[in-house]
Amino acid sequence: MVDDLDHFIRGLPKAELHMHLEGSIEPQLMLDLAARNGVAMRWSSAEELRAAYQFDDLRSFLDLYFAGCQVLVTEQDFYDITRAYLRRAHLDGVIRTEMFFGPQSFTERGVSLSTMMGGILAAIDDGVHEHGLSAGLLISVHRHRSEAEALRLLDQLMPWADRIAGFGMGGAELGNPPAGFVNYFRAAKACGFRTTVHAGEEGPPAYIREAIELLGVDRIDHGVRCMDDPALVRDLAARQIPLTVCPLSNLRLKGVASLARHPLKAMMAAGLNVTINSDDPPYFGGWVTENMVECRHALDLTIDELVQLARNSISAAFVSAAEAADMIKRLDAYAAARPTDR
């Protein structure tokens, strides 16, 4: 049952900092793009495809995720998925979004960077103009590939440097520690880019430690496994390094047994700088609003805690201090008219 507080959450001005464009394709759009490009799919309907979104772990999800990437071929395809996400983000009260995109899934099939970037950036321009939100693109490399490939991609993307908000790394975490990409992150930072890395989703707390101490990243994506290491929790709290947590993703990939057992609230209580995000929303059954609403009910989050999560997200965004301050003012004005807690 939707109540006033759930409506409040949807309109809450917020930033979404951890969402993959390739993972935002709704089932019907995926089938439409497959038909448009003559790509054979194993599913004949959106319902059948959605029913396949049952995962045992991160690896089983990535197998389907990369299959879905096959439908993206033309500049119009990349435009369409980006534009569809921005429309949805606007409906969810998102005033700043930083979208991950992994070009390596497409360059290996011969899709040019100009095709991808042309479509994505045109959609960002149109979405910003229509919805008045702020949007940035984060380039993500695959950790199961070589660091040399990551460095080559970094160099190839320099013609679009002024349109890229930061560089990160994702993919299958176990067996692919952050330490193998020290030179890539050093090079990205030397070019003036902000950096972030997926760590501590399925991988051990040591991967988070490597990301902080060896890579020097600005943010950690996921990071929930930090709770297994009290010393690491204290360090993260002291440094206030943002963690872009994705609760429904953790649930659907069997990282937690139930949302009620998710460590989000304990992370907040420990003083960690946590944010709520959707990761790959159609696959995991919820966009950023659904993530916040379901956490609100499962973890008994208060209005103050929900507003703090939104405040954290804005403060952690890769934007100027002036832009962040303006967004915080919007959040404060909205929160002042909040409904009765509970």
Catalytic residues: 201
Model confidence pTM above 0.85:
yes
What are 16-75's pLDDT values in tens digits? 999 999 999 999 999 999 999 999 998 999 999 999 999 988 888 888 888 889 999 999
Task: Name the residue ranges covered by the structural domains of the chain.
Answer: 4-27+75-335
Question: What is the secondary structure of 8-72 as a DSSP string?
Answer: HHHHS-EEEEEEEGGG---HHHHHHHHHHHT---S-SSHHHHHHT---SSHHHHHHHHHHHGGG-
Contact 58/66 with Cβ under 8 angstroms?
no
- Rounded to whole angstroms, how far apart are CA atoms 280 and 243? 17
Signed CA dihedral, 88, 90, 92, 95: sign only? positive
What is residue 133's predicted lDDT score, i.e. its pLDDT? 97
What is residue 274's predicted lDDT score, i.e. its pLDDT? 98
- Rounded to whole angstroms, how far apart are CA atoms 184 and 51? 38
Please report, in tens digits, the pLDDT of each residue of the chain (342 residues total): 568 999 999 999 999 999 999 999 999 999 999 999 999 998 999 999 999 999 988 888 888 888 889 999 999 999 999 999 999 999 999 999 999 999 999 999 999 999 999 999 999 999 999 999 999 999 999 999 999 999 999 999 999 999 999 999 999 999 999 999 999 999 999 999 999 999 999 999 999 999 999 999 999 999 999 999 999 999 999 999 999 999 999 999 999 999 999 999 999 999 999 999 999 999 999 999 999 999 999 999 999 999 999 999 999 999 999 999 999 999 999 999 877 655
Domain 4-27+75-335 falls under CATH 3.30.420.40: no
The DSSP letter of residue 338 is: P
- Rounded to whole angstroms, how far apart are CA atoms 34 and 36? 5
What is residue 341's predicted lDDT score, i.e. its pLDDT? 54
What is residue 2's predicted lDDT score, i.e. its pLDDT? 62
Contact 41/69 with Cβ under 8 angstroms?
no
HSE-up (13 A, CA, CB side) for residue 72: 33
What is residue 60's predicted lDDT score, i.e. its pLDDT? 86
Task: Select from 108, 111, 110, 157 the least CA-distant residue to 137.
Answer: 157
Contact 273/242 with Cβ under 8 angstroms?
yes
Give, in order, the Cα–Cα distances in Å from 237 to each of 23, 219, 233, 309.
Answer: 30, 13, 6, 15
